[in-house]
């Protein structure tokens, strides 16, 4: 009996040691020292407190772990455990999440919340099927068009050369199908493209347009929100299973707090960015009702480049959520 008890205690000790040594490696594109990075570090401290020091969250900020595609690949092979992703990164795992970025599908924050409530549970299951656990989804504002000339309607935008990220091939094809002059440019090349005259327009959240000084070469902003910006924090299924189940609920709650802080901070920075740009001669345009309707009509024509057989989004998924959003609007 003494040997049995000693063996049992030894096993418990070894088990505790193995849990205490558990380190979850999380990749992030947020610059080190930024408010978002500080929020992630705060969450890491909460995880450590919740687990009594048994689970440590190690953060690799500023793209140290690679771009979003790199981080997803590293999670699949076990080199990384978790990642903070934008909508681009989420589509690397579940392509249909691109539906959140369809231009003008939703028009208000309430409609976006409704759409997320309807679609996220199903998407979370798809992530699990692909070997990932979505810890939290987050919102980061809305995208607007910026240009060095007035862009009240689609025809005016067609007169410009617009930057579209090569990491979004579906969006590139959709813009091309709608007869826009598309120039594939990544985030780091947009300023150079504007300075050189390679591009005349781009779409972005106000915070980024201000922070990267893009607006200095594109002084006109269409106030019509084109699409919301969503992202999330995901863990590999392998890492999620390693974390004792008794911590799962509290860890996710800590992530929810992080997502809320991300949203509050981003909203504040978007508003501040807009204020600063206006002080430096940004012109917020006043499109007519006919202009606004033209945007909706035009992008609906472009959906077949993204929606349909063999595309990122199935017809069934698109029609289902479109009908639900239409019904929601009628109830308001």
Q: Tell me if 277 sits within 8 A of 223, measured CB to CB.
A: no
How far apart CA 31 and CA 249 sit, in angstroms, is 28
Polymer length in residues for the chain: 332
Q: Is 7 within the bounds of a domain?
A: no
Q: What is the pLDDT of residue 332?
A: 84
Q: What is the pLDDT of residue 3?
A: 52
Q: Is 36 within the bounds of a domain?
A: yes
Q: Is 123 within the bounds of a domain?
A: yes
Mean pLDDT (the chain) is 90
Q: What is the pLDDT of residues 7-50, one digit of tens each?
A: 444 444 444 444 457 999 999 988 888 888 898 999 999 999 99
Measured from the Cβ of residue 21, the count of other Cβ atoms closer than 10 Å reads 10
Instruction: Give yes or no for residue 181 having a pLDDT over 80.
Output: yes
Query: Which residues, in sequence order, are bridge partners of residue 234?
Result: 83, 134
How far apart CA 276 and CA 274 sit, in angstroms, is 6
| 175 band by pLDDT with thresholds 50, 70 and 90 | confident
Q: What contacts 24+ positions apart, CB below 8 Å, involve 288-297?
A: 288/152, 290/153, 291/152, 291/153, 292/224, 294/153, 294/154, 294/155, 295/103, 295/104, 295/153, 295/154, 295/224, 295/226, 296/104
How many distinct structural domains can be found in the chain? 1
Instruction: Give yes or no for residue 248 having a pLDDT over 70.
Output: yes
Q: What is the pLDDT of residues 279-304, one digit of tens each?
A: 999 999 999 999 999 998 887 766 77
Q: What is the pLDDT of residue 85?
A: 95
Q: Is 5 within the bounds of a domain?
A: no
Q: Is 10 within the bounds of a domain?
A: no
Q: What is the pLDDT of residues 188-242, one digit of tens each?
A: 899 999 999 999 999 999 999 998 899 999 999 999 999 999 999 999 999 999 9
Q: What is the pLDDT of residue 311?
A: 87
Q: Is 11 within the bounds of a domain?
A: no
Q: Is 165 within the bounds of a domain?
A: yes
| 54 band by pLDDT with thresholds 50, 70 and 90 | very high
Q: Tell me if 215 sits within 8 A of 282, measured CB to CB.
A: yes
Task: Decide which of 324 and 176 is more confident.
Answer: 324
Q: What is the pLDDT of residue 280?
A: 96
Task: Decide which of 21 and 136 is more confident.
Answer: 136
Q: Is 1 within the bounds of a domain?
A: no
Pair type for strands 22-27 and 55-60: parallel
Q: What is the pLDDT of residue 13?
A: 45
Task: Decide which of 296 and 51 is more confident.
Answer: 51
Percent of the chain past pLDDT 90, that is, above it, reads 71
Instruction: Give yes or no for residue 77 having a pLDDT over 70.
Output: yes
Burial group, residue 116, by CB count within 10 angstroms (0-12, 13-18, 19+): middle
Q: The domain that contains 27 carries what CATH number?
A: 3.40.190.170
Q: What is the extent of the structural domain holding 68?
A: 18-331
Across the range 247-262, mean pLDDT stands at 91
């Amino acid at each position: 009996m003494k040997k049995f008890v000693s063996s049992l205690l030894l096993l418990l000790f070894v088990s505790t040691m193995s849990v205490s040594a558990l380190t979850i490696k999380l990749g992030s594109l947020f610059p080190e020292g930024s408010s978002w990075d500080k929020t992630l570090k705060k969450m890491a401290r909460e995880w450590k407190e919740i687990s009594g020091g048994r689970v440590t969250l190690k953060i690799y900020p500023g793209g140290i772990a690679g771009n979003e595609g790199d981080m997803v690949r590293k999670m699949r092979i076990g080199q990384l455990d978790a990642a903070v992703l934008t909508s681009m990164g989420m589509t690397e795992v579940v392509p249909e999440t691109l539906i959140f970025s369809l231009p003008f599908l939703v028009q208000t924050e309430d409609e976006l919340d409704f759409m997320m409530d309807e679609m996220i549970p199903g998407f979370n299951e798809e992530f699990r099927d692909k070997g990932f656990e979505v810890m939290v989804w987050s919102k980061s504002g809305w995208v607007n068009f910026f240009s060095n000339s007035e862009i009240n309607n689609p025809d005016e935008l067609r007169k410009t050369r617009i930057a579209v990220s090569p990491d979004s091939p579906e969006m590139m094809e959709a813009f091309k199908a709608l007869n826009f002059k598309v120039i594939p440019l990544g985030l780091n090349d947009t300023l150079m493209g504007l300075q050189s005259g390679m591009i005349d327009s781009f779409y972005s959240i106000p915070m980024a347009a201000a922070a990267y000084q893009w607006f200095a070469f594109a002084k006109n902003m269409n106030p019509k929100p084109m699409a919301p910006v969503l992202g999330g924090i995901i863990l590999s299924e392998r890492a999620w299973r390693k974390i004792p189940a008794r911590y799962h609920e509290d860890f996710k709650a800590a992530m929810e707090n992080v997502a809320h802080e991300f949203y509050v901070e981003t909203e504040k920075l978007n508003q501040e960015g807009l204020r600063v740009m206006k002080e430096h001669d940004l012109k917020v345009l006043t499109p007519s009702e006919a202009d606004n309707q033209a945007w909706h009509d035009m992008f609906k024509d472009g959906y077949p480049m993204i929606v349909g057989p063999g595309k990122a989004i199935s017809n069934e998924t698109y029609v289902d959520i479109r009908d639900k959003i239409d019904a929601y609007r009628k109830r308001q």
